[in-house]
Amino acid sequence: MVLPVVAIVGRPNVGKSTLFNRIAGERIAIVEDKPGITRDRIYAQGEWTGKRFHLIDTGGLEFGGEDAFIDHVRHQVELAVDEADVIIFVVDGREGLLPSDEEVATWLHRSDKPVVLAVNKADNRRRREEMYEFYSLGFDEVIPISALHGTGTGDLLDAVVSRFPEGEEELYDEDTIRVSVIGRPNAGKSSLINAILGQERVIVSPIPGTTRDAVDTPLHRDGQDFVLVDTAGIRKRGKVYETTEKYSVLRALRAIERSDVALIVLDGERGIAEQDKRIAGYAHEAGCASIFVVNKWDAVEKDEKTMDRFRREIMNAFSFMNYAPVLFVSAKTGQRVHKILPAVQEVAEQHAMRVSTSVLNQVLMDAMLTTPPPSERGKRLRIRYGTQVSVKPPTIVLFVNDPELAHFSYLRYLENRIREAFGFRGTPLNIRLRKGD
């Protein structure tokens, strides 16, 4: 599902990051508990009245280069206007209306994106009464808040979610494999896409009318429809923020949400970076199937051990994604590029695979016989039965006597046994526990 994007803009020190943390707070903490996955503090998922959304604190983006703060704010607004469905414009009620607020308002009025004005630091009634001057900025919704104390943020979020666009229609049929090509700037994503499209066996269809400004590329190969979903690499508009690493994470996130399979492009020349782990972590969490594509293999000095070494490095760095196959390619020379789409097709099939309940239970029983669940203070986990409840990604529910008794390591063991039996290559596997008899 495509989540709406909410961006927070405003000049420095008005309280953007305080508001971000207030809205996102608890969810960030929960997500950071997962091993191997770190959250970027400027992106989070928020939820209000059952509606989920992405939240971006544009103040946390570093653009580098320019010194004037107003340029910095302008880039934030540009990004928000391009990427967000709703913009929260934060001003400081204590300081009152400043010329730079008016400047930001002018930029925002040039776009047709819905804007909700949050007059922050309205910590007491007197301050809340002083907010009327901000109506002169020309926004319909002016909401006094205190990000620090959490007052008014409910009204703010009501106004924000009421402006979400209607759910977007799914453009492609169930059998079309949606692929995103993600990775750091300069890993070679656009070169790879061009290399894939340049292959003679691929037929690129004309781009249908898409919603938003997505530039999806539908293609056809050996009887299978694919679509390369909108990513940073496809269209380079040359905007300042597009070269920032954090922006590339946002684009990756948005593309991943719309994909069945993520091609995680690593730069074979530069090696694995922290940012790669973050991007891969998003694909894993989103339940996409994944393939690691080590690009620029032509430029890597190598002997017969280099590939194995790189593969081991990947397995170490992305230990939570050991299910993902690894391809070594060169967009430049075309080496092994023809292996990408067949690999995509293979992992997409695994991602959509359904296993029979009876065979699954046979596998679970065998696994428990070989290695019984460890006992905990005299109590032992008992798995009554398991069943696959959904696909994309495959999700298995185990009905157990007491979910609290299940250790991470035992679940890991069961997952390995399930994979040995069925494959599920390239796809994450969700195993959920439910109390049941």
Q: Centre a 10 Å sphere on the Cβ of residue 24 and count the other Cβ atoms it contains.
A: 22
Indicate the residue among 98 and 359 with the shorter CB distance to ligand GDP: 98
First to last CA, the chain: 33
Residue 188: DSSP 8-state:
S
Residue 183 beta carbon to ligand GDP: minimum distance, rounded to whole angstroms: 6
Residue 32 beta carbon to ligand GDP: minimum distance, rounded to whole angstroms: 20
Residue 76 beta carbon to ligand GDP: minimum distance, rounded to whole angstroms: 10
Residue 131 beta carbon to ligand GDP: minimum distance, rounded to whole angstroms: 13
Residue 427 beta carbon to ligand GDP: minimum distance, rounded to whole angstroms: 24
Q: What is the residue-wise DSSP string for 363-396?
A: HHHHHHHHSPPPEETTEE--EEEEEEEETTTTEE
Indicate the residue among 184 and 425 with the shorter CB distance to ligand GDP: 184
CA distance 220 to 342: 12
What crossing angle do the helices spanning 69-83 and 245-257 adopt, rounded to 10°? 10
Indicate the residue among 191 and 388 with the shorter CB distance to ligand GDP: 191
Indicate the residue among 329 and 383 with the shorter CB distance to ligand GDP: 329
Indicate the residue among 224 and 306 with the shorter CB distance to ligand GDP: 306
Residue 2 beta carbon to ligand GDP: minimum distance, rounded to whole angstroms: 22
Indicate the residue among 219 and 293 with the shorter CB distance to ligand GDP: 293
List residues near ligand GDP by CB under 6 A: 10, 12-18, 59, 120-121, 123, 146-148, 183, 185-191, 233, 295-296, 298-299, 330-332
Residue 191 beta carbon to ligand GDP: minimum distance, rounded to whole angstroms: 3
CA distance 118 to 297: 50
Q: How many CA atoms lie within 13 A of 10 on its CB side?
A: 28
Indicate the residue among 14 and 104 with the shorter CB distance to ligand GDP: 14
Longest Cα–Cα distance of the chain, Å, equals: 74
Q: Residue 200 contacts by C-beta under 8 Å, 6 or more apart in sequence?
A: none
Cβ atoms of 152 and 93 closer than 8 Å: no
Residue 188 beta carbon to ligand GDP: minimum distance, rounded to whole angstroms: 3
Per-residue tokens: 235: 């269209």
Phi (first) and psi of residue 286, to 5 degrees: -75, -10
- C-alpha gyration radius of the chain: 24
Phi (first) and psi of residue 223, to 5 degrees: 80, 5
Indicate the residue among 15 and 281 with the shorter CB distance to ligand GDP: 15
Angle in degrees, CA 403, 404, 406, rounded to 5:
70
The strand pair at 383-390 and 395-400 is best described as antiparallel
Residue 369 beta carbon to ligand GDP: minimum distance, rounded to whole angstroms: 49
Task: Calculate the alpha carbon distances from 61 to 58, 201, 231, 348, 379 in Å.
Answer: 6, 41, 19, 34, 50
Indicate the residue among 276 and 415 with the shorter CB distance to ligand GDP: 276
Q: Which residues pair with 390 in a beta bridge?
A: 395
Residue 403 beta carbon to ligand GDP: minimum distance, rounded to whole angstroms: 39
Indicate the residue among 53 and 297 with the shorter CB distance to ligand GDP: 297
Q: Centre a 10 Å sphere on the Cβ of residue 210 and count the other Cβ atoms it contains.
A: 15
Per-residue tokens: 13: 């020190």
